Amino acid sequence: MADLQQRIEALYRSDLRGSAILIICLWATILFVLFMTWPYIPQGSIKAVVAIAAAAVLIFNTAAILAMVKHYKEDKEFIYGLDIKNADASRNRKS
């Protein structure tokens, strides 16, 4: 049982790292595009719309990823336990 807990924790930590990387890439990409296109946007009102849209994308996507991670933490035994059992069963069928 301790082995299963260790495997669950390893998968959860891996998902945490992946989520952090995705959030960093999301912010870097959106901000890069925003700053690179900013000089080419002619009107102030359009700049405001673009800035608000970029902020909305960043806020809502970041919140969604964080909510997913929170859910994974709350139900990690169930979520990752199923993954591990299925992976083990698949590996056993192949061997």
Residue-by-residue pLDDT tens, the chain, 95 positions? 679 889 999 999 999 999 999 999 999 999 999 999 999 999 999 999 999 999 999 999 999 999 999 999 999 888 888 889 888 888 888 87
Query: How far, in Å, CA of 75 to CA of 69, rounded?
Result: 10
Q: How far apart are CA 22 and CA 5, in angstroms?
A: 25
Q: What is the pLDDT of residue 1?
A: 66
pTM for the model: 0.81
Tell me which residue range forms the domain holding 27: 2-94
Please report, for residues 38, 48, 75, the alpha-carbon distance to residue 22 in angstroms, rounded to integers and kept in the order given: 24, 26, 21
CB atoms under 10 Å from CB of 21, counted, come to 10
pLDDT at position 83, please? Answer: 87
pLDDT score of 88? 85
Q: What is the pLDDT of residue 87?
A: 86
Instruction: Supply the pLDDT for residue 95.
Output: 74
Number of domains in the chain: 1
